[in-house]
């Protein structure tokens, strides 16, 4: 008598956008998870992402399949960024039909942005047997200021939300509106079986906000595979500290500029390299960056934008990687990319940055927003002989078996 054939596990991974369209950390992590699940025996994986206006629409259709039978792209018009709601009846109808067609055992959402938190309730209605898992990537549920928990307009770190505190940042919304916003969000979050946080810091912030600790697990995001190849010999010249990523005020670009000025004033044998651009930033900040880079400090070198596939090679061209963000962050992708490249890090000593750098011997932290302290750390690391600079060890991401075990945990939790 032959053994019974095990039923395949069906998993739908949801993201706010697709890495073919944008290159943020959340969509890269979500798609890599989908790719790994798809390669796993006994698993049938699907991927649904929001369009966010990047891909041509098909007239009369909200959900289309532009890249294969297992990948879906959804239009999400009329999104309400304050409540993270999407009132589109067409999206609700087609998403429900998709759930009924796919019959997932697990729906793993990496972001609701653009799609709306109503999708959690839709899972309950159209796939009642499925377990719902949500990976959080920032503090968007808690904070209306792009989920970054800094005050507006002065960008001071914020420790917690309340209707009165949030009203001070957004006086156009009454305290009552923030109270109702929180009730609205938590109504739909109550449908989630398991929350995944890539850092303990992010988990604790959401637990303090009111989400149940017993439904949280900490697991790092997946990274795409890479082939770094042989490392080139170290070039001579000054110590090179590199910044990689989107050039924005919250990423600490002004702190880097001032630190470069201080290095110049001290005659330090060190430079700061900027890899990235400010193209997606507000016009006023783009103009500010353009003015700075027109006559930059001598210790500041702008290398321009780069493709994600180049990041390991570019990081190997510097002596250390800087993460100078002035907001809490969660688990910055750039930290793990620097570890892959074998470079030590110098990062702001707050939030998920500090948590991750604790795991990397040889890395340093500085007081967030303090250009003087950053310049001190750069000079401290530059003073070390190259052989004494400890390269960050690669941060191993979770295997797919870890993820599947979390799905089993979600299935065992009472509703």
Tell me which DSSP letter residue 157 carries: B
> What pTM does this model have?
0.92
Give the range among 124-133, 168-177, 375-384, 395-404 with minimum mean pLDDT.
395-404
pLDDT per position as a tens digit, 69-128: 999 999 877 899 999 999 899 999 999 999 999 999 999 999 999 999 999 999 999 999
Fold of 9-222+398-412: Rossmann fold (3.40.50)
At 2, is the pLDDT very low, low, confident or very high (cuts 50, 70, 90)? low
Provide mean pLDDT across the span 208-215. 97
Average pLDDT, the chain: 92
DSSP state string for 254-303: HHHHHHHHHHHHHT-SEEEEEES--TTS-HHHHHHHHHHHHS--TTEEEE
Parts of the chain belonging to CATH 3.40.50.2000:
9-222+398-412, 239-388
Is pLDDT above 70 for 232? no
Give the closest residue to 93 by CA, choosing from 133, 51, 67, 61.
61
pLDDT per position as a tens digit, 251-274: 999 999 999 999 999 999 999 999
Asked if residue 153 has a cis previous peptide bond (ω within 30° of 0), the answer is: yes
Cα–Cα dist 90/62, whole Å = 7
pLDDT per position as a tens digit, 32-82: 999 999 999 999 999 999 987 666 666 668 999 999 899 999 987 789 999
Give the closest residue to 19 by CA, choosing from 87, 82, 73.
73
CATH number for the domain formed by residue range(s) 239-388: 3.40.50.2000
Provide mean pLDDT across the span 21-37. 92
């Amino acid at each position: 008598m032959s053994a019974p054939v095990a039923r395949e596990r069906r998993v739908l991974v949801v993201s706010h956008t697709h890495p073919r369209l944008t290159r943020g950390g959340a969509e890269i992590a979500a798609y890599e998870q989908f790719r790994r699940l798809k390669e796993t025996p006994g698993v049938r994986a699907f991927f649904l992402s929001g369009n966010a206006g990047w891909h041509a629409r098909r007239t009369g259709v909200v959900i289309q399949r532009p890249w294969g039978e297992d990948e879906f792209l959804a239009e999400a018009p009329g999104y309400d960024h304050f409540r993270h709601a999407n009132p589109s009846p067409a999206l609700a109808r087609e998403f429900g039909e998709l759930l009924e067609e796919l019959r997932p055992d697990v729906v793993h959402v990496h972001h609701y942005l653009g799609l709306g938190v109503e999708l959690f309730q839709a899972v309950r209605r159209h796939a009642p047997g499925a377990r719902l898992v949500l990976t959080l990537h920032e503090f968007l549920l808690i904070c209306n200021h792009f989920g970054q928990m800094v005050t507006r307009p002065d960008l001071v770190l914020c420790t917690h939300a309340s209707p009165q505190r949030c009203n001070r940042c957004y006086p156009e919304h009454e305290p009552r509106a923030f109270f109702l916003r929180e009730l609205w969000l938590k109504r739909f979050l109550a449908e989630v079986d398991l929350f995944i946080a890539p850092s303990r810091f992010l988990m604790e912030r959401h637990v303090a906000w009111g989400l149940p600790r017993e439904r949280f697990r900490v697991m790092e995001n997946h990274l795409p595979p890479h082939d770094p190849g042989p490392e080139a010999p170290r070039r001579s010249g000054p110590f090179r500290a590199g910044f990689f990523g989107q050039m924005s005020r919250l990423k600490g670009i002004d702190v880097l500029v001032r630190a470069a000025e201080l290095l110049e004033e001290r005659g330090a044998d060190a430079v700061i390299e900027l890899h990235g651009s400010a193209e997606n930033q507000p016009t006023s900040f783009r103009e500010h960056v353009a003015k700075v880079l027109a006559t930059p400090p001598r210790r500041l070198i702008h290398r321009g934008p780069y493709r994600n596939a180049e990041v390991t090679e570019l990081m190997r061209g510097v002596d250390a990687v800087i993460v100078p963000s002035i907001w809490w962050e969660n688990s910055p992708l750039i930290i793990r990319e620097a570890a892959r490249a074998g470079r030590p890090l110098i990062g702001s000593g707050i939030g998920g940055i500090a948590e991750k750098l604790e795991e990397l011997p040889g890395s340093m932290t500085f007081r967030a927003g303090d250009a003087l302290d950053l310049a001190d750390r750069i000079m401290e690391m530059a003073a070390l002989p190259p052989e004494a600079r400890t390269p960050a060890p690669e941060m191993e991401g979770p295997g797919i078996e870890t993820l599947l075990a979390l799905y089993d945990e979600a299935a065992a939790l009472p509703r």
